[in-house]
Amino acid sequence: MAHKSSFIFLLCLLFALSLAACTSTTPVPPTADQNAISTMVAATVQSAFTATQHAIVDSQSTPLITPTPLPTQPNPTPSISTPTIPALPTPSFPTEQSLRIAYTKDGNVYLWSAGGGSIGLTDSYDVTDLRISDDGAYISYKRQDLQNPNSQELWVVNTSGVPNPRILVSSTELLEITPPDPASYILGATVLDFVWRPNTHEVAYNTHILHEGPGFGPNYDLRLVNADTLTKSTLFDTGKGGIFFYSPDGDQIALSMPDSISQVNSDGSNLRGNVLTYPYVGTHSEYLYTPHPIWASDSSSLRAAIPPEETLADPLPPTGLWLIPLDGSPAVLLSNVQAIPFAWPDNAFAPNLERVIYVTPLGDKTENQRELRIANPDGSNDVAYDTGESLEFISWSPDSQHFIYQINGGTNEGVFLGGVNSQPDLVVFDPDVIQDIKWLGGNRLVFLFQDGDQWQLLIHNLRDDVLTRVDTLPDTNPVFDTLP
């Protein structure tokens, strides 16, 4: 993930220039200013960038709030009891839609708010993942026993007032999902993914079977727990659902399986099964590929890219681009593209669904040359954009006019910012210094930047071209979530 998510950071650097140019279709080359970047990174990292001049400021107008000191030793058994929470400052949220960032630091949940600084909300030292609710009232998080990979729980904490962390799903409940009389190599069940159902305080989650050794065993279930009432329900038991994707309005769910996509109302009614079916995609491993359908912004339909069954065949079979209506009627094939499976992600459709990017083989396959192409989803206006060794598409920008891709070898190696109406610009030489990026809407984004043996959590304001440091994180694998 470091390679793929890292590229997008410098989209901000050049995307800001694109915004400033407004109607210009000729990208403005970035200026190399290592002195400005040196305030942020070590000298060995500075050489990786071509960037505009930046200044880094502190993350808030008031000093960073230091939490009450937490225990120095982690709690190895998250299921034992609710931790004792020290008195902590109350977050300050100037407006209902103010920017908030939930993140992990030293295995605890922290919250940063615009104008309010950072506070610590937990003291368990075992948090591995988190999600902030749509209204910012709660943060759900996963706790992992550091000594036992099979001991895991879901918790929730308030973001204002008394934090009051409390358990949502216990390790005992997860253990009960394990099949009766399991084989000796099955260790138990753990959480695969968890999200807030849009516009609610319900946490939706699914599970997978934890194996001793290699293997991936998703249960294709869907379970709910209400953070207000702690009421629990099972929408789909083991094997009866699929990898789930809520519509933006929260009223519908797409259920994806290795051989089909279905739809259902968010309360489990009106199941429209197998609206799109396809052969298993050949991964040549124990992993079963599951498509990630993309919802239209108005929740009216889905799009999906389905790779071929024989992914190593020569010539390469086409990948199908599909429109899936919401009424349960059969899916419609929009077009076929000669795409290299897994060299372009499920988000190859632009956010406005008006274009698609794909990567296709070029020339002698032993040279591993690839071509990036842009087309309309129906296959029209299909044009070549760039070529390179082991080229990979990364992602679209929210405005559907820009995108990031990577060339992994040759004379033009690097990470590039492309544009629908502009030529590519080289933006970074070393993608390893960035981990994850999230757009905050409008002209802001947040990302993790590797600085030696630690990470900087930074906000980039494109309008003012200013980098703001939220916090310095010593964690090996920090995670964060944002609102909006």
Structure tokens belonging to residue 445: 């984004």
- pLDDT for 241-284, tens place per residue? 999 999 999 999 999 999 999 999 999 999 999 999 999 998 88
Instruction: Give the per-residue pLDDT at 427.
Output: 62
Instruction: Give the per-residue pLDDT at 442.
Output: 60
- pLDDT for 12-28, tens place per residue? 443 433 433 433 333 33
Interatomic CA distance for residues 434 and 270, integer angstroms: 43
Interatomic CA distance for residues 135 and 161, integer angstroms: 15
Structure tokens belonging to residue 431: 């993608």
Instruction: Give the per-residue pLDDT at 23.
Output: 37
Instruction: Give the per-residue pLDDT at 363.
Output: 87
With contact defined as beta carbons under 8 Å apart, do 48 and 40 qualify?
no
Instruction: Give the per-residue pLDDT at 85.
Output: 32
Q: How many residues are present in the chain?
A: 484
> Token pair 């994707």 is at which residue?
245
Q: What is the pTM of this model?
A: 0.79
CATH 2.130.10 fits 2-483, yes or no: yes
Structure tokens belonging to residue 362: 């070029």
Of the candidates 427, 306, 482, 437, the residue with the CA atom closest to the CA atom of residue 49: 427
Residue at 4: amino acid letter: K
Instruction: Give the per-residue pLDDT at 190.
Output: 92
Residue 267 gets the label, from left (phi > 0), alpha (psi -120 to 50) or beta, of alpha
Radius of gyration, CA atoms only, the chain: 23
Of the candidates 220, 224, 222, 200, the residue with the CA atom closest to the CA atom of residue 209: 220
pLDDT per residue of the chain (484 residues) written in tens, 0 to 9: 434 444 344 444 434 334 334 333 333 333 333 333 333 333 333 344 334 334 456 554 333 233 333 333 344 333 333 333 333 333 333 333 478 999 999 999 999 998 889 999 999 999 999 999 999 999 999 999 988 888 899 999 999 999 999 999 999 999 888 776 666 667 778 999 999 999 999 999 999 988 776 667 899 999 999 999 999 999 999 999 999 999 999 999 999 999 999 999 999 999 999 999 999 998 888 788 999 999 998 999 999 999 999 988 888 899 999 999 998 888 999 999 999 888 777 778 998 999 999 999 998 888 899 999 999 999 999 999 999 999 989 888 888 888 888 898 888 888 787 889 889 877 667 777 777 877 776 667 788 888 889 999 998 776 777 889 999 999 889 999 998 8
Instruction: Give the per-residue pLDDT at 433.
Output: 77
Interatomic CA distance for residues 61 and 219, integer angstroms: 47
